[in-house]
Structure 1
Amino acid sequence: MSTILITGAASGLGWELARQFAPRARQLVLVDIQKELLETRQQELTDQYSQLDVSSFVVDLSDSQAVENLTSQVTESHPQIDILVNNAGITHRSLVTKTHARVFQRVMDVDYKGPVELTLGLLPLLKKSHGTIINISSMASWMPVLGRAGYCAAKSALNQFFETLRCEVRHQGIHILMVYPSFLDTPIEQNALGHDGQPARHQRSTIGQMRTASETVTAILKALDQGKERLFPDRKTWAASVLYKLMPRAYQKLMTRKFASELEQ
């Protein structure tokens, strides 16, 4: 039985991760920015699993001091962390030329800086347990998506950082699983930022199959059990990433046509 820390655990993919990890965990550490919902989720799991020790921390992962405080508290209260799931994230739907710089900064802080700082703070515990780091990245880290430049940049940075870290810590027994979903039916898109930092007002464009949090987490746990280092839940989107690598101009034409409505915003 493991001690598992999950960020963005109060809703969407994070909550589904908590639900499916609960039967195989000894301790769950839930982290989210939504205080009331997080407390509700903690109580739900405590009521359902009497053997499970559930703790929660309200943290804005874009705040470096808050992340440092979190790592200190977790280190004091938990002798080891077996699995760290960097799931929390935000996105935007807005064209580069119309987007305020603070929107790009916010996305980068939550999607890249926060996971990096949290991982660095918890590395001693992960080394001790020969633990696992699961990062919820995106296929947007592999290929451009119109109207998501900041999100693509943040996930690309996340990808490169942890793929490099993998090479540096593998010999210390730390395993890293990178997950590359495409379009999920979760609140991350419902809460997407617009060009001015307010909620995006237009409907999102998608490509490929819209997947549920449940089936995505099931695939993640299977990949974890199999010791995989990378997971591409949507094969059609993976094929699009291959097209981008081999024929980038053809991919960009197809993608721009599919996401043409973004140009009208």
Structure 2
Amino acid sequence: MHRKVFANKVFERKVVVVTGGGAGIGRALAIRFAQAGARLVIFDLQQETLDSLVQHLADHHNVEALGLCCDVADALAVQAAMQRVLERFGGIDILINNAGITHRSTFAETELAVFQRVMAVNYFGALHCTREALPSLIARQGQVIVLSSLSGFAPLLYRSAYNASKHALHGLFETLRFELRGSGVNIMLVCPGFTATDLRKNALVGDGSPTRQPPLAMGKVASPQDVAEAIYQGALQRRRLLVLSNVDWRARVLARFFPRLFERVLLPRLSGLRPPQ
């Protein structure tokens, strides 16, 4: 279907950068903004996946897109990639910090390298990309969209590194929002619930190797397309916080005001794991 059917003039010809855009929520976001007429830049680690997505966007949505193989944890790689974006498109209107990894292991069994890698991708990846894009975002009064998690306010068992990285994102971007008051730049923190993506399938274990266990049963799981649509609508409204958790307000209220009750009632179910015997 031609993109003009979906076109929204708010994003027509805007330049949208999506990190971790090769699959899952990132891919769904790239397609949704393409439907609105945006020009896309997708960062991912697999060039073949990027090439396929760029071709799909051209063939099905008639938009200009660029796929760049870039590890967002590498500050120099991000700097080089962002320079290519600026040279090709002249600026950036929306930066979507979506790239992320997770793990499933107890704190005691998790090697230091796993903590460092999770923080390098989830936290420093967003930091690197935002630092490089910020001058252009300020000049264009653009937006930064940050993919956090329900674990940003309701921690999950056996995800200590992941939980820490999401808390760090909130600290960083809530501070940046305050510093950018009056600049015209909007920052939206997004907290999805459990979503059917490869994030859980590709989780690390304590020694840093990929898990061999199937994804955990977490109850109702959202589709990447539904999450992308909600984020798109939030971007239209320039929201500051978008909570899409499947457990909605209950986890937030219990975790903040009744932490003991949260730990006893919701935490085991949300985490999908029983404590080790």
TM-score range for the pair, normalised by the shorter chain length: over 0.9
In the alignment, which residue of structure 2 is the partner of 1:5? 17
The alignment partner of 2:181 has SS state of helix
In the alignment, which residue of structure 1 is the partner of 2:84? 73
Instruction: Write the mapping of 1:137-216 to structure 2, written as runs, cut at 5 A.
Output: 137-205=148-216, 207=218, 209-216=220-227
Distance in structure 2 (CA, Å) of the matches to 1:186 and 1:159: 22
Distance in structure 1 (CA, Å) of the matches to 2:150 and 2:217: 12
Please give the per-residue CA displacement for 1:49-108, whole angstroms capped at 9, x wherever unaligned.
33x111111001111211121122222222221111101110001111111110111000
* Shift, 1:243, TM fit: 0.6
In the alignment, which residue of structure 1 is the partner of 2:273? 261
Higher helix share: 1
* Shift, 1:143, TM fit: 2.0
Note closer, same or farther for the CA distance 1:241–1:206 as it changes in structure 2 (3 Å cut). Answer: farther
Distance in structure 1 (CA, Å) of the matches to 2:268 and 2:126: 33
Residue 107 of structure 2 corresponds to residue 96 of structure 1: yes
Residue 109 of structure 2 corresponds to residue 119 of structure 1: no
- Report which stretch shifted further, 251-260 or 9-18: 251-260
- In the alignment, structure 2 segments of 5+ residues that lack a partner are 1-11
Q: TM-score, normalised by structure 1?
A: 0.94
- Report which stretch shifted further, 148-157 or 16-25: 16-25
Picking from 39, 46, 52, the partner of 1:34 is 46
Distance in structure 1 (CA, Å) of the matches to 2:92 and 2:136: 6
Q: Is the 8 A contact 2:268 2:274 kept in 1?
A: no
- In the alignment, structure 1 segments of 5+ residues that lack a partner are none
Q: Is the 8 A contact 1:100 1:196 kept in 2?
A: yes
The alignment partner of 1:4 has SS state of strand
Please give the per-residue CA displacement for 1:184-218, whole angstroms capped at 9, x wherever unaligned.
11011111111111111334445452111111111
* Shift, 1:225, TM fit: 1.6
In the alignment, which residue of structure 2 is the partner of 1:49? 61
Between the two proteins, the alignment pairs up a number of residues equal to 264
Distance in structure 2 (CA, Å) of the matches to 1:124 and 1:77: 16
Q: Is the 8 A contact 2:17 2:42 kept in 1?
A: yes
Q: TM-score, normalised by structure 2?
A: 0.90
Please give the per-residue CA displacement for 1:109-150, whole angstroms capped at 9, x wherever unaligned.
000001111101111110111001111110111122101110
Note closer, same or farther for the CA distance 1:35–1:47 as it changes in structure 2 (3 Å cut). Answer: same
Please give the per-residue CA displacement for 1:229-252, whole angstroms capped at 9, x wherever unaligned.
111113624321211100111111
Q: Is the 8 A contact 2:220 2:246 kept in 1?
A: no
Q: Is the 8 A contact 2:221 2:246 kept in 1?
A: no
Note closer, same or farther for the CA distance 1:241–1:94 as it changes in structure 2 (3 Å cut). Answer: same
Please give the per-residue CA displacement for 1:147-175, whole angstroms capped at 9, x wherever unaligned.
11100000110111001111111310001
Amino acid at match of 1:29: V
- Report which stretch shifted further, 236-245 or 254-263: 254-263
Q: Is the 8 A contact 2:24 2:198 kept in 1?
A: yes
In the alignment, which residue of structure 2 is the partner of 1:24? 36
